[in-house]
Structure 1
Amino acid sequence: MKSFQARESGESDGGDAAIRAVLLFGPTGAGKTELVRRVLATNPRLARSLEVVSADSRQIYRGMDIGTAKPSREELAAVPHHLIDLIEPSCSFDVGQFVRSCDDLCREIHRRGRVALVTGGTAFYLQAFLCGLPEAPPSSGEVRLELSRRVQQEGLAPLREELLRVDPESASRIGENDAYRIVRALEVYRLSGRPRSSFREPREIRQGLSVQVAGLTRDRQELYRRINRRVQAMMEAGLPGEVEGLLRSGFGGDDPGFRTIGYREFLEVSATPPWSGEELALIQERIARNTRHYARRQELFFRRLPRVRWLQADDVRGFEALLLGALPS
């Protein structure tokens, strides 16, 4: 497993300059992309002044377009986007690399006289950008790969039982099907000899960050309906073919990209395409279910972030005002 080499923050021309940005987050399917699109369509000044920095840990992977709901070609042409299509699905990109890259980009965008809009739904990316990196040791490719292979071979239950023994506090806070966080908690224990729960997580906005924070809310049942429709649309848009193409290119279950929702479900049903109609129906149901569970965890996590201005998902004027207030004078 390879690792993407991001610039170290000390290599940035911005040095100690303040990092300025607008942060927009919300659960998967809440309508972040739609809200940005509507604001830019009605305000030409913002359309000329905005650059988007993706805070989505899945959109960094090349070739994984449909299942990660990447911006369309038209959207990419209309507004500059960053941290999309960075690496192959076999490579890793950790939260520290994200924060360093995001900091550098925000400084560069501000120097151009534009507004950096950091938007996405990857909670640990967003928290680290806002509050700083946790004290826990960074990810180890070797340990992470070994634990991920155990998930593939044994299922998640034995790893969850191990976590209950070594770190019951973390286990009580992590969903029983949350493979990423279970693996990460065990990884921290393996690397440090300490429970993940014993490490302090920053809760306040870090120094040197000047940011406006907006969070989107939507009725839970409507959010779930949107997720179901979204997954169906992905399947109809060719997600099975996208996954088959990635497998034929040599990527598979050991690769970081395939551990994400929307891709791993195909391998759980059958690692040998093409999939039957019955198998595809089961895959679609699993993706929708896992995405709904993930959205619920996102909502709970986002409520812990500091200084958030909560907006309804269709509040175009409210979000437009927030962006206008961030424009350089």
Structure 2
Amino acid sequence: MKTNYLISIVGPTAIGKTALSIKLASHFNTEIISADSRQFYNEMQIGTAAPTPSELAAATHHFIKHLSVDHYYNVGAFEKDAIALLDKLHQKHKVVVMVGGSGLYVNAVTKGLDDLPKIDVATRTLLNTRYQNEGLKPLQAQLKALDPKAYKTIAIDNPQRVIRALEVCLSSGKPYSSFLKGKDKTRAFKTITIGLTAERQNIYDRINQRVDLMITEGLLDEVKQLKPMQHLNALNTVGYKELFNYLDGTWDLEFAISEIKKNTRRFAKRQLTWFKKNENTIWFDYQYKLEAIVAAIKLEMDS
């Protein structure tokens, strides 16, 4: 029985994952699955650094700009959809490439999610309303009281993660952490994870340059178009929420841009912390030689 493979490309934002994914897709004559939870949305092109038309033309991509920002879509739905797609793709390709910086979405495909209870929609709506009106701190305090273990282990500064943990606590009457078994699901493919990294200052410099380029390419106009929908969860995203503050008159533009850079750097730090937990990741410097990465992948396939 032949073994199918998923090459998962991870690393911090602005490190060059998209370019590598296209090179590997070309080398293996295959297709690409995006595991970037914000590149799913059609209206969020510039601020998510979604693949350009020329990049999309270079390889077949999936889960790119296939939803509207008002469409509720979570990691559980992505796991189901991505695994179903992989089953189809592996019928014609021995190798499929996945790329993205959303760690939970990557893990959903490679390891599977824990089985969580059904969530009460009214509870989710209430928590999101509280977040919009009161901010994150009261929700963090509530989670600390209901589930101290989850409070210490999840990304506590990520509103989505806090709300997700709280809605499980409130809907089930049990701690969110009690549902986290930590057992990987069996997959019908072998995952080979390739990580890109760099010295921290190089990462930060690349982030700053990318933000400046986004502004030049029209990020502010993109955000203006989305202003009437700024309450949506999809738009609670670095690059958008800071410019909403500018458009609201809370910040000036220069400060908003500086906050985008700062918050993106913080995000990149969290990404590296998350991805470093996987001891099986094969790491390469962002100034890699493609031949070295291909050789490492083939070595894993032969092992």
Q: Which residue of 2 aligns with 1:115?
A: 95
Matched, 1:319 2:293: yes
Aligned partner of residue 111 in structure 1, secondary structure: coil
Alignment counterpart, residue 132 of structure 2, candidates 152, 165, 178: 152
Q: Which residue of 1 aligns with 2:19?
A: 34
Alpha-carbon separation, structure 2, partners of 1:229 and 1:205: 39
Q: CA deviation at 1:117?
A: 0.4
Post-superposition CA distance 1:138-188 (Å, at most 9, x none)? 555543332122111111111111112111222223455322222122112
Alpha-carbon separation, structure 1, partners of 2:54 and 2:259: 30
CA contact (8 A) 1:20 1:116 kept: yes
Q: Which amino acid aligns with 1:144?
A: R
Q: CA deviation at 1:317?
A: 2.2
Q: Which residue of 1 aligns with 2:7?
A: 22
Post-superposition CA distance 1:191-230 (Å, at most 9, x none)? 2212222222435463423221212222122111211111
Distance 1:136 1:304, change over 3 A: farther
Distance 1:64 1:159, change over 3 A: same
Q: Which residue of 1 aligns with 2:110?
A: 130
Q: Which amino acid aligns with 2:14?
A: G
CA contact (8 A) 1:205 1:306 kept: no
Alpha-carbon separation, structure 2, partners of 1:138 and 1:285: 40
Alpha-carbon separation, structure 2, partners of 1:236 and 1:170: 40
Matched, 1:162 2:142: yes
Matches within 5 A, 1:137-286: 137=117, 141-175=121-155, 177-202=157-182, 204=184, 206-247=186-227, 250-253=228-231, 255-271=232-248, 279-286=252-259
Post-superposition CA distance 1:11-39 (Å, at most 9, x none)? xxxxxx97631111112122212333556
Q: CA deviation at 1:114?
A: 5.7
Distance 1:290 1:51, change over 3 A: same
Q: How many residues align?
A: 299
Q: CA deviation at 1:57?
A: 0.4
Matched, 1:287 2:287: no
Alpha-carbon separation, structure 1, partners of 2:245 and 2:78: 29
Computed over aligned residues only, the root mean square deviation of the Cα atoms, in angstroms, reads 2.6
Distance 1:39 1:123, change over 3 A: closer
Q: CA deviation at 1:324?
A: 5.7
Q: Which residue of 1 aligns with 2:34?
A: 54
CA contact (8 A) 1:217 1:313 kept: yes
Q: Which amino acid aligns with 1:235?
A: I
CA contact (8 A) 1:35 1:313 kept: no
Matched, 1:299 2:272: yes
Distance 1:65 1:141, change over 3 A: farther
- With 87-96 and 278-287 compared, the bigger mean Cα shift is at 278-287
Give unpaired runs (5+ residues) of structure 2: none
Structure 2 length-normalised TM: 0.88
Distance 1:139 1:318, change over 3 A: farther
- With 181-190 and 27-36 compared, the bigger mean Cα shift is at 27-36
Give unpaired runs (5+ residues) of structure 1: 1-16
Distance 1:317 1:303, change over 3 A: same
